């Protein structure tokens, strides 16, 4: 034990005065009271009250730390400059800041409200429970409360997207063949989904069926619009969605709401087009790709268009895909396929040799690799064309890049805008 002179005395010292005391006994000595004036007393009281409140806040924060991400309910205690303070019971309070309230909602003192505990912030007066009513996770928690099949794990909510206070979408699937996940979430006469909606200021909730097939998932998410076709771009994680002209406004929704929520829900970038628009885009892409293949492989325009329409858009695909995939094209025979593969491989080899020879002469700058979408190969191709730095790329026009190998108009535009992003920071 370490000797502490503030609360301990040595046995040898104290026994000179009171010989009967042993080690471990308590010794009381009178201490002269310090005289405090009215102001000093008031200050002392304020400090004590403040420290007690800080201790209480610390205790509450410790209790709620494990509940971050969970839904809490309470009663509105007061409204302070647009921020709503909610009494959570047991002396705990949480604040919903103005930007985390549902737009145009008007919570009043005494109202019951639910909110998601998003964080515990450190304030001057101590820890503060931070609540929110706009997060998609709150929607999930409400369905977990209202739908026993969800809370018991028989129905899973795989995603949610919200336009707070207006409209939302959730994606569900069932782990029990006998349970309809959509019907379970809607409830008898819509009672369950209506209860959720009422908690969120009348927010309209669409319930869609999740699907492992990304295309089918998107179709479900865009309901009730009828989808004609989907073109998937795996590389850019986007889809071009074709609908009939009269369905276009329904698919997009007011202010783009429907397609935006569907995009957030599925995780795909969705481009809505009419059937005519998508056909025109596909025709333009076929002409662009086939034109490059004609120059690169020295082949007829007809052969190049067939390759483009079948999805063979680059030399690498033609050179290295399994032979069987090219032979599946009705117009191609074995001799033509072998010749196309040989030419593609020869061109790629020539390009690789040329790039290696030019590396020392034109080495891309480090900041060129910081541009989103610029790969090692693209950087070397840029450098061989005199585009060395990020600033060089930002100064280019789309047409300036189209002469570079495998460059499309869309990719050129994306890379240039990514390079210019630093201008706006």
170, 143 contact by CB (below 8 A): yes
pLDDT of 360 over the 60 cut: no
94, 88 contact by CB (below 8 A): yes
pLDDT of 48 over the 60 cut: yes
- Average pLDDT value for the chain: 87
Rounded Cα distance between 315 and 244, Å, is: 35
Question: Which position has the higher pLDDT, 263 or 38?
Answer: 263
| Cis peptide bond N-terminal to 219, omega within 30 | no
113, 123 contact by CB (below 8 A): no
pLDDT digits (tens, 9 = 90+) for 180-200: 999 999 999 999 999 999 999
Q: Which residues contact 192 (CB under 8 A, 6 or more apart)?
A: 143, 146, 147, 184, 185, 186
Bridge partners of residue 126, in order along the sequence: 123
The DSSP string of 55-101 is: HHHHHHHHHHGGGTTSEEEEEEEEEETTEEEEEEETTEEEEE-GGGS
Q: Would you state the structure tokens that stand for residue 23, as one six-digit string?
A: 């080690």
At 266 the pLDDT is 95
161, 169 contact by CB (below 8 A): yes
As a whole number, mean pLDDT of residues 229-257 equals 90
As a whole number, mean pLDDT of residues 229-253 equals 90
pLDDT of 353 over the 80 cut: no
Rounded Cα distance between 53 and 154, Å, is: 44
DSSP H/E element including 246: none
pTM of the model: 0.65
pLDDT digits (tens, 9 = 90+) for 91-132: 788 999 999 999 988 899 999 999 999 998 877 666 788 999
As a whole number, mean pLDDT of residues 358-375 equals 79
pLDDT of 85 over the 70 cut: yes
Which has the closest alpha carbon to 393: 425, 411, 415, 360?
415
What is the set of domains in the chain, with CATH numbers? 63-133 (2.40.50.140), 135-210 (3.30.300.20), 366-424 (1.10.150.20)
**Lowest-pLDDT range of 17-21, 204-208, 317-321:** 17-21
Confidence of residue 267 (pLDDT cuts 50, 70, 90): very high
Rounded Cα distance between 60 and 129, Å, is: 9
Rounded Cα distance between 196 and 399, Å, is: 52
At 193 the pLDDT is 96
């Amino acid at each position: 034990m370490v000797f502490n002179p503030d609360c301990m005395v040595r046995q040898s010292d104290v026994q000179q005065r009171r010989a009967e005391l042993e080690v471990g006994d308590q010794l009381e000595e009178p201490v002269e009271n310090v005289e405090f004036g009215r102001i000093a007393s008031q200050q002392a009281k304020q400090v004590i009250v403040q420290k007690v409140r800080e201790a209480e806040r610390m205790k509450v924060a410790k209790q709620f730390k494990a509940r971050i991400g969970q839904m809490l309910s309470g009663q509105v205690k007061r409204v302070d400059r647009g921020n709503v303070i909610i009494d959570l019971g047991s002396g705990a309070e949480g604040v919903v800041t103005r930007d985390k309230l549902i737009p145009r909602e008007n919570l009043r003192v005494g109202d019951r409200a639910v909110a998601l505990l998003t964080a515990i912030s450190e304030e001057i007066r101590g820890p503060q429970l931070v609540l929110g009513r706009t997060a998609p996770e709150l929607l999930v928690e409400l369905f977990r409360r209202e739908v026993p099949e969800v809370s018991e794990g028989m129905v899973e909510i795989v995603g949610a997207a919200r336009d707070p206070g207006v409209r939302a979408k959730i994606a569900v699937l069932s782990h029990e063949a006998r349970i309809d996940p959509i019907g379970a979430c809607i409830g008898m006469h819509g009672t369950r989904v209506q209860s959720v909606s009422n908690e969120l200021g009348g927010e309209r909730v669409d319930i869609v069926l999740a699907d492992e097939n990304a295309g089918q998932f998107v179709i479900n998410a865009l309901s009730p619009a009828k989808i004609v076709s989907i073109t998937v771009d795996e590389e850019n994680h986007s889809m071009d969605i074709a609908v009939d002209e009269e369905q276009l406004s329904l698919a997009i929704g007011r202010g783009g709401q429907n397609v935006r929520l569907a995009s957030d829900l599925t995780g795909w970038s969705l481009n809505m087009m009419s059937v005519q628009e998508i056909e025109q885009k596909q025709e333009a892409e076929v002409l662009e790709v086939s034109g490059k293949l004609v120059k690169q492989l020295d082949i007829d325009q007809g052969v190049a268009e067939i390759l483009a329409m079948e999805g063979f858009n680059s030399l690498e695909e033609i050179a290295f895909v399994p032979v069987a995939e090219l032979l599946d094209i009705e117009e191609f025979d074995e001799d033509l396929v072998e010749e196309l593969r040989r030419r593609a491989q020869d061109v790629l080899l020539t390009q690789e040799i040329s790039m290696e020879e030019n590396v020392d002469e034109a080495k891309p700058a480090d900041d060129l690799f910081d541009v989103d979408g610029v790969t090692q190969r693209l950087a070397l191709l840029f450098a061989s064309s005199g585009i060395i730095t990020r600033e060089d790329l930002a100064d280019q026009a789309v047409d300036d890049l189209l002469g570079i190998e495998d460059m499309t108009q869309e990719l050129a535009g994306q890379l240039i805008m990514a390079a210019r992003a630093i201008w706006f920071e």
